A and B are shown apart, each in its own frame.
Chain A
């Protein structure tokens, strides 16, 4: 047989895959592996989302502190000593009570939402 003919025949033979009786099972195994990987990814994304939510809530609460400082600087024409005293009082208040009641409720709500999301996702996936 001439070389090019034989090479063409060989390529054709290679392109005819053997029949595997478990071909469907093989495809199903890969699909299951892909699903598992995807589930893990979604849990990680959910976790990242929860963490981001918590961070956002913390930021929301602490923003009040910087807003107070800005107000103080805008009213800078007042007696400096009085302002410093007032600022120190505000800081003390912030440390003692980190947020207003509304902010606390908001943070608690966000945390509950995040927790609910995480639990639902975990129940769906496992």
Chain B
């Protein structure tokens, strides 16, 4: 790859260059997918600093493993999977998360009833009403494209627990993300 031109091309092509040791090609992949990875980790429940550290670890690990990426799926999905695993290892190491079938921390009933302004759909705001477990499970399933079984295995919890976390999380998100009712819209507009 030319040294004076910024690397271009499809992700798979750049990954192949990166696998051959081209750090500039990998740098372009980082530019393309950095925000997605950082965003996913935050949505999984990591604070900003942790999310960025984990994202950085994931990209560095990704460079070491990029030869294993054969282009079967999107590069974004592949690197997000590595990042999610990095974060899960940290979560399990610190034993911060307690997975039960009961709703727990993070539940903010008032947040669900807040009138929503205009038609703004803010997933990051909506995720705040979920418990840590719900947030993690929903984000892994819908943001990381993991199956329930994969989440259960990674978190070492029963698949039924994952399903109930996801269901409760979806219910809360649906309520939060639903289009505002006519009355709420009138309220919002004064």
Contact = CB atoms under 8 A, between A and B. Distances in A.
B174 A30 contact: no
B174 A14 contact: no
Interface in A90-112: none
Nearest to A11: B142
Contacts, number: 76
B147 to A, nearest CB: 14
Interface string B42-59: 110000000010011001
Q: Provide the main secondary structure of the chain B interface.
A: helix
A24 B6 CA distance: 14
Interface residues of B, number: 31
A20 interface: yes
B92 interface: no
Contacts of B174: 1, 6
Interface in A16-69: 16-20, 23-24, 26-27, 29-31, 33-35, 37-38
A24 B142 CA distance: 26
B31 A23 contact: yes
A29 B34 CA distance: 11
Interface residues of A, number: 27
A73 interface: no
B36 to A, nearest CB: 4
Nearest to A16: B123
Given A10-B173, A14-B123, A19-B35, 7 more contacts: A10-B142, A17-B38, A17-B40, A18-B35, A30-B34, A34-B26, A34-B60
Interface of B: 23, 26-27, 30-31, 34-36, 38-40, 42-43, 52, 55-56, 59-60, 63, 121, 123-124, 138-139, 142-143, 170, 173-174, 177-178
Interface of A: 1, 3, 6-7, 9-11, 13-20, 23-24, 26-27, 29-31, 33-35, 37-38
